[in-house]
Amino acid sequence: MGKRRKGREIVLQSMYASLISGSALPDVLEDQILRRESADDTIVFARDLAGKVKAHAGELDRWLNSLISDRWDPSRLGTLEVVILTIGLAELRFSPDVPFRAVINEACELAHRYCEDGAVGFVNAILDRAAGETYPDLKQPGVTQPAPVVPTPDAAGDEEGAS
């Protein structure tokens, strides 16, 4: 398993455990890291990704709701699907060095491994839609990794982050 994939899996399991237990994400993440033998760069990647998720939790929640609310009832999504989508959205928006296709593929792999059958197609569709918003030049011929459009933070700020 690749180092980034392993890092994403650590973040997925940490976010899920945090949501279920009510414990703070950074504490759960450190506990998950201590329980495994992971390469240093995997740990750095996992901490960075979890930090982005926590720092931008409110923005990511709003973005996810805007992506699904016109077609799906957000309350009907499973916790794992929400976690996987949140990780994917965080990478799309805040990790421009990671190719958007890799973000989508990795999220689909997590959904395949951890969710029920229909989740992979759902995760793929939502993140594809998000990539289209993040990379408006995506549909132009010959464009493989266009420059992202990162919205400016709203006036409400994004201090509310997940615990």
| Topology given in CATH for the domain delimited by 3-135 | N-utilizing Substance Protein B Homolog; Chain A (1.10.940)
> Which contacts (CB < 8 Å, 24+ apart) does range 33-37 have?
36/10
Q: Per residue in 5-23, pLDDT tens?
A: 999 999 999 999 999 999 9
Q: In the chain, where are the structural domains located? A: 3-135
74 — phi, psi (to 5°)? -55, -30
With a cut of 70, say whether residue 129 has pLDDT above it.
Answer: yes
Average pLDDT over residues 101-121: 95
pLDDT at 161: 43
Average pLDDT over residues 86-101: 95
With a cut of 50, say whether residue 1 has pLDDT above it.
Answer: yes
CB atoms within 10 A of CB 83: 23
Considering only residues 115 and 75, tell me which one the structure prediction assigns the higher pLDDT: 115
> Residue 89 has which token pair?
């959205």
Mean pLDDT taken over the chain: 87
Q: Per residue in 50-85, pLDDT tens?
A: 999 999 999 999 999 999 988 887 777 899 999 999
Average pLDDT over residues 108-130: 94
pLDDT at 159: 42
- Which of 59, 69, 114, 108 has the alpha carbon at shortest distance from 88? 108
Which region among 34-38, 109-113, 157-161 has the lowest average model confidence (pLDDT)? 157-161
Contact call for residues 106 and 85 (beta carbons, < 8 A):
no
Contact call for residues 40 and 143 (beta carbons, < 8 A):
no
Question: Among the residues of 39-99, which ranges form H helices?
Answer: 40-55, 57-68, 79-94
